């Protein structure tokens, strides 16, 4: 495969690890297949399990530019693909000589006035980029249909300028938090991987990799406590991001292990819902692993 420097899943997994992203076999396989088959990778999972981080790590790993399209409700083509710089155009029009304005109109729609948005930038960059379409579930159906079109063609026609097409499509990572189901048509085009919360040992390793100043013993204490938290009946389960935050917060306070008072002081770094906090506070000893 052109520009694809890995011969096996293991090799890719190792390379991701060197960039502090510890992927399990399933995720590494999904990434490997996405790159070698040239299909977008659709990642779903609870908040904070490292979906976005996959694209960031991939861009470092491949030495490509990361182009990020953050989706939100109401996003449309002019915010995702391109837009004209209307204010500049207006000024240019005003500055024109009224007599030959008509002949200058086409100048108004040249590259100078074109504002490039992430999708157009990704099409132009082609395989020099990793395109991250983040939280696609926040956009609405219409945008999803539009994105599907872009993802199948990797070409776009700007009426006033002409057709822009990618020589080789960029690597594409799409993430979703599943606030709604994505359409089957889009899913069919992608490879799919659900990222789960990592197992204890992996989580310890992730904390160590992401926050090197956190001691091994603290990392393990925190990971164990988070694992217990995930077994409680919480409305919002802490993700890996929370584990790292919590370890960071504790390390900042000079802790070398997790105790109940320390946990009580720093609970806000890991449990971020009022009712969940009440529930956890009542069982803090159990969570920290001090009694029972």
Partner 1 sequence: MGERTTVPGASGGGPLPPLIGLGRDLRARGLPVGTGRILTFVRAVGALGFTDRDSLYWAGRTTMIARRDDVEAFDEAFDDWYRSLRTTDDLRVELNMPVPAPEDDDEPIDRGPEPDDLEVQVAAASEWHGVDDDEEVEPGDESSIRIVASGAEVLRSKSFGELTDEERERVAALIRSLRLRVPVERTRRTRPASKGERFDLRRTLRRSLRTQGEPFDRAWRARTARRRPLVLILDISGSMAPYSRALMQFAYAAMAAGRRVETFVFGTRLTRVTRTLRTKDPDRALHEIGRQVEDWEGGTRIGESLKALLDGWSQRAALRGAVVVFCSDGLERGDPELLKIQMARLRRLAHRVIWVNPLKGSPRYEPLARGMAAALPSVDVFLSGHNLESLEHLASTLGS
Judged by beta carbon, residue 165 or residue 253, the one nearer partner 1 is 165
Find out whether 208 and 220 touch, Cβ atoms under 8 Å: no
Determine, following the binding rule CB under 8 A, whether residue 74 of this chain makes contact with partner 1: yes
Residue 97, judged by CB atoms within 10 A of its CB (0-12, 13-18, 19+), counts as exposed
**Beta carbon nearer to partner 1, 3 or 26:** 26
Q: Name the pairing type of β-strands 41-45 and 171-176.
A: parallel
Say if CB 239 and CB 229 are below 8 A apart. no
Rounded (10°) angle between helices 25-37 and 51-62: 60
* DSSP-H helix ranges across 190-288: 200-210, 216-231, 240-252, 260-266, 274-282, 284-288
186 to 225, contacts with partner 1 by CB under 8 A? 187-194
Burial code (b: 16+ CB inside 10 Å, e: under 16) for 54-81 equals bbbbbbbbbebebbbbebeeebebebbb
State the binding string over 143-182 for partner 1 (x if CB under 8 A, else -). --x------x------------------------xxxxx-
Task: State in angstroms the smallest separation of the CB of 273 from partner 1.
Answer: 11
Q: How far is the CB of 37 from partner 1 (least distance, A)?
A: 6
Query: Tokens 């938290």 sit at which residue?
Result: 229
User: Nearest distance from residue 263's CB to partner 1, in Å?
Assistant: 24
Residue in 26, 110, 268, 285 binding partner 1, rule: CB under 8 A? 26
Site for partner 1 in 94-153 (CB under 8 A): 94, 96, 98, 101, 105, 140-142, 145, 152
Three-state DSSP class for 290? coil
Size of the site for partner 1 (CB under 8 A): 53
Residues that bind partner 1 (CB under 8 A): 8-9, 25-26, 29-30, 32-33, 36-39, 42, 44, 72-74, 76, 78, 83-84, 86-87, 89-90, 93-94, 96, 98, 101, 105, 140-142, 145, 152, 177-181, 183-185, 187-194, 235
């Amino acid at each position: 495969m052109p520009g694809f420097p890995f011969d096996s899943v293991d090799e890719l997994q190792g390379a991701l690890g060197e960039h502090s992203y510890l992927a399990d076999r399933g995720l590494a396989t999904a990434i490997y297949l996405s790159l070698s088959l040239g299909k977008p990778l659709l990642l779903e999972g609870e908040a904070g399990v490292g979906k976005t981080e996959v694209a960031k790590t991939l861009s470092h790993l491949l030495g490509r530019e990361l182009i990020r399209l953050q989706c939100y409700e109401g996003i449309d083509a002019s915010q995702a693909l391109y837009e004209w710089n209307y204010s500049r155009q207006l000024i240019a029009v005003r500055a024109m000589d009224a007599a030959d304005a008509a002949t200058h109109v086409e100048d108004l729609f040249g590259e100078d006035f074109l504002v490039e948005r992430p999708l157009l930038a990704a099409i132009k960059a082609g395989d020099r980029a990793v395109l991250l379409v983040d939280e696609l579930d926040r956009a609405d159906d219409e945008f999803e249909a539009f994105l599907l079109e872009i993802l199948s063609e990797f070409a776009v026609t700007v009426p006033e300028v002409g057709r822009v097409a990618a020589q080789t499509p960029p690597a594409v990572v799409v993430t979703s938090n599943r606030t709604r189901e994505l359409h089957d048509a889009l899913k069919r085009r992608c490879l799919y991987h659900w990222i789960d919360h990592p197992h204890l040992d992996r989580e310890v390793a992730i904390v160590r990799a992401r926050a090197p100043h956190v001691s091994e013993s603290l990392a393990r204490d925190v990971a164990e406590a988070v694992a217990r938290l995930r077994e409680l009946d919480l409305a919002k389960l802490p993700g890996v991001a929370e584990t790292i935050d919590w370890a960071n917060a504790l390390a900042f306070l000079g802790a070398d292990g997790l105790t109940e008072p320390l946990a009580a002081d720093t609970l806000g770094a890991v449990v971020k819902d009022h009712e969940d906090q009440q529930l956890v506070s009542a069982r803090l000893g159990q969570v920290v692993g001090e009694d029972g």
